[in-house]
Amino acid sequence: MTRSLATLCALLLVPCLVAAAAGRVEAADSPRTEPLEPHRVGVIIALGVGHQLEATPTYKMLQRVTAAVSAYRQQRAKYILFCGGHTTGHIAEADEMKIMAQAMGVPARAILTENGSISTGQNARNAGRMVARKRFRSALLVTHKSHMARALKEFRKKIPRLRRIQRLYADDYAPSKVELEFDPPLPKMDDFQAVVIHGQSRPVDFLGDTVVLDRTQRALARTMVYLYQNGVTDIPYFVWHGAYAVGHITRAEVIALGAVALGLPARKIVLSPARRNSTGTTALFERCTQSGWTRVLAILAPGREDEVEMMEHQYRERGLSAHVIVAPEAPL
């Protein structure tokens, strides 16, 4: 009886041991990629995608930034790493994406950039250096479905340090609606020929990070988007800033990128030239006159309520009609 029982136990254990061994082999051979699950990782890595012109990102870039920021808000990681170099013009994709993420509320301290790559393979190679420096062991990779397989292949090959790579497809992400309150209420918009944004910035640390969108610029960008989302869609948004460029990006471009990040189509934006020795640089009122914008809605930065009447008077002195409003403060 005892011998028969031992034989029966042995027969039952053999299939279990074989299955367990097979499972270990399957796990060892499977790619280092996890399904779409909300696990915490070391870093969120969002890959750039070609932009059109200066400070005019494509909608796909907007989707990837929006997806990465959504994951950050869900506390999937403490850092977002944006990858992408100078594929068009003088602003790197990663720098554009950084400004866009700041417009959505991500603090600069949580953003890392890799701005020296112009291909997916270079994205992975250069990101690997940042991963090693920060000692990340897992990542959430953000890109579109059509790009994910190639991106995963490059990242698994070039960054063996990453033990887990999760996926986040950006295809279905879109900007949220901006909610603002104005006191006094906004006027009717039917008669205006343009929205003029009077850019203003906090002092810049020339020895520090100059690719930054401050709270004042964010407030102006949010106001632009609010107007567009509430029906001001048929006239241009002229972003004017009197300061010259700091490094490789102008303050007007920073405000414009912030507005695009929140949902204003890049094609609606007109930028003031603000580069040293650039041709065609004109003053604000001259540009309005040259463009035929004789009736405009002008937006001042928060805190400039005392300047509204003075600014309207300056427009009138030059034969222009302006209704001047002040942008509401941006949330912290």
Q: Is the model more confident about 240 or about 278? A: 240
Would the pTM of this model clear 0.85, i.e. be above it? no
pLDDT at 39: 77
pLDDT single digits (tens) 32-55: 444 455 679 999 999 998 776 667
CB 311 within 8 A of CB 197: no
| Residues 6 or more apart whose Cβ sits within 8 Å of residue 297 | 187, 189, 192, 194, 195, 196, 227, 232, 322, 323, 325
The C-alpha atoms of residue 290 and residue 193 are separated, in whole angstroms, by: 13
pLDDT at 56: 79
The C-alpha atoms of residue 61 and residue 87 are separated, in whole angstroms, by: 13
CB 236 within 8 A of CB 195: yes
pLDDT at 263: 94
Q: Is the model more confident about 20 or about 181? A: 181
pLDDT at 27: 33
pLDDT single digits (tens) 261-305: 999 998 999 987 655 545 444 688 998 999 999 999 999 999 999
235: pLDDT strictly greater than 90: yes
Question: What number is the average pLDDT over the span 60-85?
Answer: 96
Following DSSP, what letter does each residue of 144-161 receive, concatenated?
A: -HHHHHHHHHHHHHH-TT
The C-alpha atoms of residue 102 and residue 199 are separated, in whole angstroms, by: 17
- Of 78-87, 152-161, 166-175, 241-250, least confident by mean pLDDT is 241-250
63: pLDDT strictly greater than 90: yes
Tokens linked to 160: 């063996």
Of 168, 162, 172, nearest to 143 (Cα)?
168
Q: How many residues does the chain have?
A: 332
Rounded (10°) angle between helices 145-158 and 120-134: 50
Confidence band (pLDDT; 50, 70, 90) for 20?
Answer: very low
Alpha helices (runs of H) in the chain, residue ranges in sequence order: 2-29, 59-73, 93-103, 120-134, 145-158, 215-229, 251-262, 284-291, 308-317
CB 196 within 8 A of CB 236: no
117: pLDDT strictly greater than 70: yes
Q: Is the model more confident about 54 or about 112? A: 112
14: pLDDT strictly greater than 90: no
3: pLDDT strictly greater than 80: no
CB 144 within 8 A of CB 48: no
The per-residue pLDDT of the chain, averaged, comes to 85
3-class SS of residue 104: coil
pLDDT at 259: 96
Confidence band (pLDDT; 50, 70, 90) for 30?
Answer: very low
Tokens linked to 87: 């594929």
pLDDT at 246: 58
With DSSP H G I counted as helix, E B as strand and the rest as coil, what are the percentages for the chain, rounded to 5? 40, 15, 40
The C-alpha atoms of residue 45 and residue 51 are separated, in whole angstroms, by: 18
pLDDT at 5: 52
